[in-house]
A and B are shown apart, each in its own frame.
Chain A
Amino acid sequence: MVLLEVTDLTKDFGGVAANSHISLDIEKGEIIGLIGPNGAGKTTLFNCIVGYHRPDQGKIRFKDKNITGFKPFKTNREGIGRTFQIMSISGDLTVLENVMIGSFCRTSDRRIAREEASEILNVVELEKDAEAYMTELPIATQKRVGLAMALATRPELLMLDEVASGLNPKETEEMVALLQRIHKAKGLTVFVIEHVMEVVMPISQRIIVLDGGQKIAEGKPRDIASDERVIKAYLGEKYAKGRKNRGSI
């Protein structure tokens, strides 16, 4: 079943096309990676789907419902959760309370919200930090709190914006393992932005590549890794040509 369907999405900022004619489908239960060099339009695409930007053209359908131009809080209520690169939320609230803000999306009862939030903290293995304040925590933990907050809204589609940026290799590995576990346990559909290929490759079932605002490739991680256009986008024209020449010799 197709969960998210983007057709012909175009968004430009003052004449610069950040996204042009992008179409993609996401099946229920998939993990999909969205990669591309800096400035490829990944975050713009995310923001259009979630509702921070209104696309100039094109349609976004979620669970067969047209959600084009919905405000972020509405897309969230439809079942799309997202994290931010920098999840700066209140320093006066504890981790648990921050996650509760997410739970309050579904219930107005404080006790239920609290229970759900602590459950989710268990899932992301932060139960011991529940009473800590956000500002006291290292970046890797803050990223996990961000993930927990998004999970607390009980999304069907989880969109992650550079969950691994600013993490060291060990923390990255742990984050990847955590994502896989969540995906398995909850049957969640996950859509990941990364510009580091090494992070998305092992977890994604399918990868979409953007460059210059256009979709240049889509496929299994293995095929993407050897795709000429992708290599060109990442490493530049020269490298790709050199590789081709060597290949022909």
Chain B
Amino acid sequence: MQIRTLKDALSFGDLPAVERIGFILFITFCFIFPWIIKGGFAQAVMIQFLIFCLYGLGWNLIGGYGGQVALGQAKNVGMSAYTVALLMVRWNIPFWVCTPLGVIVATIESFVLGYFLFRLRGHYFAIATIAVSLVWQQLFINWNFIGGARGIELPLRETPNFIYMQFDSPVYYHYFAFVLVMIAILYMNWFRKSRLGYQLRAITANEDVAESLGINAHWVKVKAYCITGIFAGMGGAFYTVYYSYIDPFSVMHLELSIMIALMTMIGGAGSMWGPIIGAMILIPLDRYLGAWLGGRGILGVDFMIYALMVMIISAYEPRGIWGIIEKARRKR
């Protein structure tokens, strides 16, 4: 059974050749990137791209395959990031012990919240997730034990340290993030062929029909929401050690949740490659354009561009860029 699961995750055989080639190119690119591009800014953008791939792949589960507008990915990121940071700062616990704990905290939070919130449907659910995110953020800003609005800073260690994941070169972080993204992609590859994947898609298409086929829609959604939480939790743990500083505005912010959702929508929600395509477009755009415009004192143009893209995508092709590709392919 386990071997079969592994085989499912590793086998991309059912995909068209173009997609497989694209995937190999993507892996190669990510793999050799630190060797060919030495610029510090470019490397930082690349790592950010990988983090957002991870977030997006996770959100795609509930938002894309599950069709639920959950705008609270940031709080899962934050839950895990704060757990990791607190344990590392206060009790000096190694990163490799903190991370599972952080992921567990994020998952439990997702479970409890999902259990209650999935009683709501459609717009009620979306608004409720926003409300929860805002409450958490307010709470974290006002909670002094965890640093309040000042946030938490990880202590700088003198020598590079694997146990606390502190390195002097971004290359290590790059590969660590890359490994996380690969795990996520393999999981998604298994997921899309799995029972959970089909059931979730059935619920998105028509919940009543799905229930008549023996699917406990509430439970399946909660499960998917928890998995989303796991992905966000891994991202949050990585974020903490990579930046060695977190505050409620960077990891708990509603804007992060929005960004993740918009990115996935643009790339193609409910498809395997959508989140990656979305991140590939938005992250460089965000960083380079943001840096360029910010340097000239112009704020917010980058967000306006995503907003326009999202409006166009939702109005004309809700399945995003991947949807357009797929449509063109089916016509042939």
Contacts and interface: CB of A to CB of B under 8 A. Distances in A.
Taking the complex as a whole, does A directly touch B, i.e. does some CB pair lie under 8 Å apart?
Answer: yes
Interface of A: 50, 52, 71-74, 76-77, 81-82, 84, 87-93, 97, 100-102, 104-105, 108-110, 113, 133, 149-150, 152-153
A102 B204 CA distance: 15
Contacts of A97: 198
B8 A73 contact: no
Q: Which 7 A-B pairs have the closest CB atoms?
A: A105-B214, A90-B205, A76-B214, A72-B211, A104-B195, A108-B195, A101-B202
B296 to A, nearest CB: 43
Contacts of A110: 8, 193-195
Contacts of A93: 198, 201, 205
Nearest to A80: B212
Given A101-B198, A110-B8, A150 B212 contact: yes
A119 to B, nearest CB: 17
Q: Decide if the interface of chain A is mainly helix, strand, loop or mixed.
A: mixed
18 contacts: A71-B216, A72-B212, A73-B211, A73-B215, A73-B216, A74-B216, A82-B212, A84-B209, A87-B209, A88-B209, A100-B198, A101-B199, A101-B201, A102-B214, A105-B215, A113-B195, A149-B213, A153-B214
Given A72-B212, A77-B214, 4 more contacts: A52-B208, A72-B208, A81-B212, A93-B205
A240 to B, nearest CB: 37
A115 to B, nearest CB: 14
Contacts of A104: 195, 198-199
A101 B212 CA distance: 11
Q: Decide if the interface of chain B is mainly helix, strand, loop or mixed.
A: helix
Interface in B86-101: none
A69 to B, nearest CB: 14
Contacts of A74: 216
A149 B201 CA distance: 15
Contact residue range for chain B?
20 to 34
A144 to B, nearest CB: 15
A110 B8 CA distance: 10
Contacts of A101: 198-199, 201-202, 210, 213, 215
Contacts of B199: 101, 104
A73 B220 CA distance: 12
B270 interface: yes
Contacts of A152: 213
A111 to B, nearest CB: 8
B141 interface: no
B2 interface: no
A84 B195 contact: no
Interface string B183-203: 000000000011100110110
Given A104-B199, A110-B8, A113-B195, A76 B205 contact: no
B214 A88 contact: no
Interface string B168-188: 000000000000000000000
Nearest to A99: B213
A79 to B, nearest CB: 10
Contacts of B215: 73, 101, 105
B291 to A, nearest CB: 38
A109 B198 CA distance: 12
Q: Which of A82, A110, A153 has the most CB of B within 10 A?
A: A110
Nearest to A135: B330
Contacts of B161: none
B206 interface: yes
B14 to A, nearest CB: 11
A120 to B, nearest CB: 13
A90 B205 CA distance: 5
Interface string B210-233: 111111110000000000000000
A90 B204 contact: yes
Nearest to B206: A88
A92 B201 contact: yes
Nearest to B219: A73
B213 A153 contact: yes
A105 B199 CA distance: 9
Interface in B285-332: 330
Contacts of A113: 195
A29 B214 CA distance: 22
Contacts of A89: 202, 205-206, 209
